[in-house]
Structure 1
Amino acid sequence: MEKYKRIFVIVLDSLGIGAMPDSEKFGDKGVDTFGHILERMGTLDIPNLQKLGMINLHQAGNMTPVEKPMGRFMRVSEASNGKDTMTGHWEMMGIRTDKPFKTFTETGFPQELIAELEKRCGKRVIGNKSASGTEIIEELGEEEINTGAMIVYTSADSVLQICGNEETFDLQNLYRCCEIAREITMKDQWRVGRIIARPYVGKKKGEFRRTSNRHDYALKPTGLTAMNVLKDAGYDVISVGKINDIFCGEGVTEALHSNSSVHGMEQTIEIGKRDFHGLCFTNLVDFDALWGHRRNPEGYGQEIEKFDKNLGVLMEEMTSDDLLIITADHGNDPTYTGTDHTREYVPFISWSPAMAEGGCLEEENTFAIIGATVADNFHVKMPEGTIGHSILDKLI
């Protein structure tokens, strides 16, 4: 008999909890996303995370641990060679990535790549540099609209992003160009992790606003994951937010697009009211996209508080047949230099109404314990070549 009928895995995108031993090799010295947010803000109104053991796990600011935490928690390090979205999520489900995805932060994309993109899309490329998405639209949006050009930019991540005004570029044409970019960057020398369509509306500077019609075109996972075997065994694998994009739909039985992290939690709560059997895998991206990359610790802290309110609602929906796992895919310290992700430990916080007591667990050295534990609960064998081991016996 399986212990849990439903497992909720919620990824607080980029909520790291301190530098890993090899962080300096990634250019990240002394980083600590959650700790530095708390130091900046002093306290956060997060009663649900607090009672689950978040402050027991990582104390900072003016907040104190609770005497009897409800959850079972630990910090987890990443085995893969990277600090990006895909690497972190893929590892959760069993894939170790040793060859990092290519970044073009310093130089922009090679001229050969840009020339091929222009030829096949039928549009002149402007931008081609590392930039904030909102800032480059302010800078080049009018030129794009007036000339029919195409804004292409990157970031500290392995991404190629294309901006398109929904009124003048046309959303479907933007998606078409992104699909072309995805095909071009499959070449090994240009191996980009994700192509992202970044649609926006507005006619002039000061009026531009990005819309929720973003779409990610990720590389397919390099192997089968826990999600594949769950789906093949007949279990539900429901994705919320950008999970479906990260895994290119592999192993997903139902995909829900989210307009924000608050919306993503509302969707997860609604799923919690349903009688599904399997995994609900949620990514809440605003922590990373709106606050981490923009180096806004106050906004990040307020986003954590918004999550905590909905976390309480979800916990009220849960029964003894449910298991909750809260984690992150990397760090993005909003007090650090630059705008890149940061190489950090991530939290693993678990809870079920069936747990008799909480407490600290021994640290683990791979995110892959998550997928392996989910697979073990549903009595399915992890695919050959995956990493990780189950800790289900510690969560009952």
Structure 2
Amino acid sequence: MERYRRIFIIVLDSLGVGAMPDSPAFGDTGVNTLEHISQSTDTFQIPNLQKLGLANLCPLKQVEPVKTPLAYYTKLNERSNGKDTMTGHWEIMGLEVKTPFQTFTETGFPPELIAELEKRTGKTIIGNKSASGTEILEELAEEEIATGHMIVYTSADSVLQICGNEETFGLDELYRCCEIARELTMRDEWKVGRVIARPYVGRKKGEFQRTSNRHDYALKPFNATVLNLLKDHGLDVLSIGKIKDIFDGEGITKAWKSKSSVHGMEQTIDAAKEDFHGLCFVNLVDFDALWGHRRDPGGYARELEKFDVNLGVLLNLLRDDDLLILTADHGNDPTYTGTDHTREKVPFLAYSPSLQGSGKLPEADTFAVIGATVADNFGLEMPEHTIGESLLEKIR
């Protein structure tokens, strides 16, 4: 007998809550995204997250823990070998990633890959380095527009990104080149988690803006996930933000792209007003893309405050047979060196208006407790070769 008719999972992309024991092996010592954001800003107002229990997970300068939070709360450790978006999300839905995806942050892509991509696309490639999306446009977009060359770059994540001006390069041509890049990067030595089309508009420095016509070409999960399980049993699986791209459409029944994290929460609020049966899975990427990678703790804090306002709206819409789970997929401590993700524990906050209790749960050894809890709620056995133990009996 299912307890909840609708489950909402919201991933606050990169909101880590402290280093894992193996974090130094990933180059991350003393990291804590949430705590260091709080320490780096004068004001930090998150009353809805506070009453759910977020401040009970790590000390925050401006936000006191609450004696009786509304939610059950704990920290989740990552079992997979990595600290990237796909690894974190795939583990949430039951997959342990043992071999990390390739990254080319320090060196750019190999000459052999660049040569093959130039040959197949008919384009001369410029860039080929790790950079932020806005910086690479300021540096090279005017050249791309003038010459017809193609900007290729990477980041701290396992991605190959291609920029294209929507007017001069064209969306269809950008997508064509990305499809070729995805085919080439299926080789083991070049295999990246995602190829990303990064369209933009503008004609000169200071005017360039990326558009919402971004498209991610992700690897398919190597095994069935909880999303496939739900869809195969006739349940709704709603994707908001980049969830559909992260799972390459696998297990998704309906999807909405988001223009921003605020927009993603507005879409989630709209979904809560509809009568679906199953899962609404949300990724809010701006925490990571706009503030974590750019090492801007103040911007991160303000984004969390915006989220908190819309969280209050969502909480008022939840029904007795709804369950809300707030979590993250990795860390990205905006006070740490470099621009990379950080290997961290992530929050787990579980709330329903029908809960009889609340409070601290034991730390879990995998993000996959989330997917297992969802499957358990709908009376389904986890797919073969997945991990995770349900927390449903502890959330009452």
TM-score class, shorter-chain normalisation, is over 0.9
Q: Deviations over 1:221-268 (max 9, x none)?
A: 010000101000000000000000000000000011100000000000
Q: Distance in 2 between matches of 1:62 and 1:373?
A: 33
Q: Deviations over 1:8-30 (max 9, x none)?
A: 00000000001100000000011
- 2:40 aligns to what SS in structure 1? helix
Q: Deviations over 1:120-162 (max 9, x none)?
A: 1111100001111101110000100000000000111111000
| Structure 1 residue identity aligned to 2:9 | V
Give the corresponding residue for 2:124: 124
Question: Which stretch shifts more, 328-337 or 38-47?
Answer: 38-47
Does the CA contact (< 8 Å) of 2:45 and 2:63 recur in 1?
A: no
Question: Which stretch shifts more, 201-210 or 53-62?
Answer: 53-62
TM-score between the two structures when normalised by the length of structure 2: 0.99
TM-score between the two structures when normalised by the length of structure 1: 0.99
**Is residue 276 of structure 1 aligned with residue 267 of structure 2?**
no
| Structure 1 residue identity aligned to 2:81 | N
**Is residue 246 of structure 1 aligned with residue 209 of structure 2?**
no
TM-fit CA distance, 1:297: 0.3
Give the corresponding residue for 2:290: 290
Does the CA contact (< 8 Å) of 1:40 and 1:61 recur in 2?
A: no
Q: Distance in 2 between matches of 1:254 and 1:206?
A: 37
**Is residue 96 of structure 1 aligned with residue 106 of structure 2?**
no
1:1-396 superposed matches below 5 A: 1-396=1-396
Q: Distance in 2 between matches of 1:148 and 1:296?
A: 33
- 1:160 aligns to what SS in structure 2? strand
Q: Distance in 1 between matches of 2:346 and 2:67?
A: 22
Q: Distance in 1 between matches of 2:389 and 2:182?
A: 33
Q: Distance in 1 between matches of 2:269 and 2:25?
A: 39
TM-fit CA distance, 1:67: 2.1
Residue segments in structure 2 that go unaligned for 5+ positions in a row: none
- 2:349 aligns to what SS in structure 1? strand
Does the CA contact (< 8 Å) of 2:105 and 2:154 recur in 1?
A: yes
TM-fit CA distance, 1:60: 2.0
Q: Distance in 2 between matches of 1:380 and 1:168?
A: 50
| Structure 2 residue identity aligned to 1:281 | F
Q: Distance in 1 between matches of 2:247 and 2:29?
A: 30
Does the CA contact (< 8 Å) of 2:50 and 2:63 recur in 1?
A: no
Q: Distance in 2 between matches of 1:30 and 1:60?
A: 16
TM-fit CA distance, 1:44: 1.4
Q: Distance in 2 between matches of 1:8 and 1:15?
A: 17
Does the CA contact (< 8 Å) of 2:237 and 2:280 recur in 1?
A: yes
Q: Distance in 2 between matches of 1:377 and 1:147?
A: 56
Q: Deviations over 1:318-376 (max 9, x none)?
A: 01100000000000000000000000000000100001231011110100001110001
Does the CA contact (< 8 Å) of 1:18 and 1:344 recur in 2?
A: yes
Does the CA contact (< 8 Å) of 1:226 and 1:382 recur in 2?
A: yes
Q: Distance in 2 between matches of 1:64 and 1:42?
A: 15
- 2:183 aligns to what SS in structure 1? helix
Q: Distance in 2 between matches of 1:45 and 1:64?
A: 11
Does the CA contact (< 8 Å) of 1:76 and 1:347 recur in 2?
A: yes
Q: Distance in 2 between matches of 1:175 and 1:44?
A: 41
Does the CA contact (< 8 Å) of 1:237 and 1:279 recur in 2?
A: yes
Does the CA contact (< 8 Å) of 1:43 and 1:61 recur in 2?
A: no
Does the CA contact (< 8 Å) of 1:8 and 1:323 recur in 2?
A: yes
- 1:381 aligns to what SS in structure 2? coil
TM-fit CA distance, 1:42: 4.2
